[in-house]
Amino acid sequence: MFYNSMGYEWNVFVLERSERMTVQKRNFYIMFVSNFLVAGTATMIMPFLSLYINTMGDFSDAYVQKWSGMVFGITFVSAFLMSPIWGRIADKFGYKPILIINGFGISISILLMGFVDSVEAFFFLRLFMGIVTGFIPTSLAFISSQTPKEVAGKTLGTLQMGSVSGTLFGPVLGGLLADSFGFQYTFVITSVVISLAAVLVMVGINEIRKTPSADAHVYTRKTVFAGLMHHRLLLHVMIITSLIQIGNFSIQPLLSLYVAGLTDSTDVAFLAGITFSAAGIGNLLFARYWGRLGDSIGYEKVLTFLLLLAFLFIVPQAFVTELWHLIGLRLLFGIAVGGLIPITTALVRRESPIEIQGEVMGYNTSFRFLGSIIGPMFGGIVSGFIGISSVFFVTGALFLLSYIVLILTRKMPDQDFEDVLLEEEAHQRA
């Protein structure tokens, strides 16, 4: 009788575990497809933002350039402010509702963009889009929360392949659609596809929520933020997250000018697109590998190595004399950078207590958007004073500095994030 009881309980345990794994796989596949759709379609509108603004009136070039920068950047500003708030809400209600809100919110804002007739209205819609932007970072946090710690790097690296694939094909497809059907229909098509991704999440995702214990500690937003600022490893990971975006975005607005100086071809925009996409291809090819390696030998070790590689591959881009040299180095740079996002996300997931995991992931997302804000301004200021090639030197120096700081951080005693939070809480009460 005892054996039968034990055998029954074991069978139930195995069945529940099997069902859980099946749900996790289905969730992963749905998020992979959804990320591809959202990243691909959201980047479809990026190549013609300035051209679209020019259709709203008889504006000077300076006016169009000014508003193009503001319209592009405002989305990241509002997303930077909102990400920790969405993360805290996700801790309370789950990631699925946030993904649905983000998906339909982005879809509605992009749909309305196709019907505006003033630059100001376009600006405010991009502002609203930033408030609900975060579908892809939230999906990384969601899948991370559903994934065993020992395979988090590989899983997040694989998931990133979906968004990177969409980012590579999106701008090209967007340009073709705009030329074939016009700007308005491109906005409508983009909106419909993102709505489809939101529907996939709403219908197909089954979130397995890890309920905190009844005596789980409740931390205020002030305590969580202060704890992050005093946890050496997490703070450095957040800074690296910003650095990734600075490295990508600082040269992006200047790349066509840099490419133009390396070739006599008239197809500069096309060649600049190929050059920029080379980094994405490297990212796509190696993201899963770096994540799996981090699971195997430790995230800190792989992160340290990748920062050094990023430095070694970005600095030589300042010395190239042929376009194919630049494309090759961008490919190698993409290989190095491709592992940074899944590795940093896996590290944040490992260090964060379950009851505030979403909020901490939200701060990581905020630092990512902060890099997207700083990057273009940083590149423009540096290139304006000391030339475009100097952007590669300065960005490389930031990667090298981050590498050195991470080396020093690893030599210091480990910090338990919960202990840091409790210390901050006691300090605030004193």
Query: 287: helix, coil or strand?
Result: helix
Gap between the Cα atoms of 156 and 346, Å rounded? 7
Domains and CATH numbers, the chain: 1-207 (1.20.1250.20), 232-414 (1.20.1250.20)
pLDDT at 8: 43
Rounded CA gap, 130 and 113, in Å? Answer: 13
In contact, 84 and 363? CB cutoff 8 Å:
yes
The residue with tokens 């300042």 is 318
* Per-residue confidence (pLDDT) for residue 7, from 0 to 100: 52
**Residue 364 contacts residue 90 (beta carbons within 8 Å):** no
Backbone torsions φ then ψ of 267, nearest 5 degrees = -90, 55
pLDDT tens, position by position, for the chain (430 residues)? Answer: 444 555 544 444 444 445 555 777 888 888 888 888 887 777 777 666 777 787 887 777 777 777 777 787 788 888 888 888 888 888 778 888 888 998 899 899 989 988 888 888 988 998 888 888 777 777 877 877 777 777 777 777 777 777 766 666 666 676 677 767 777 888 888 889 889 989 999 998 887 766 655 556 777 888 888 888 888 888 888 888 888 788 777 777 677 677 778 877 766 666 776 777 788 788 878 888 888 888 888 889 999 999 999 999 999 998 888 888 988 998 999 888 888 888 888 888 888 887 787 788 888 888 888 888 888 778 777 777 777 788 888 888 888 988 988 898 888 888 888 888 888 888 877 6
Contact 428, 223 (CB under 8 A): yes
**pLDDT of amino acid 329:** 92
Please report the pLDDT score of residue 19 as a whole number: 53
Asked if 347 contacts 303 with a C-beta cutoff of 8 angstroms, the reply is: yes
pTM confidence score: 0.76
Residues 104, 195: contact at Cβ < 8 Å?
yes
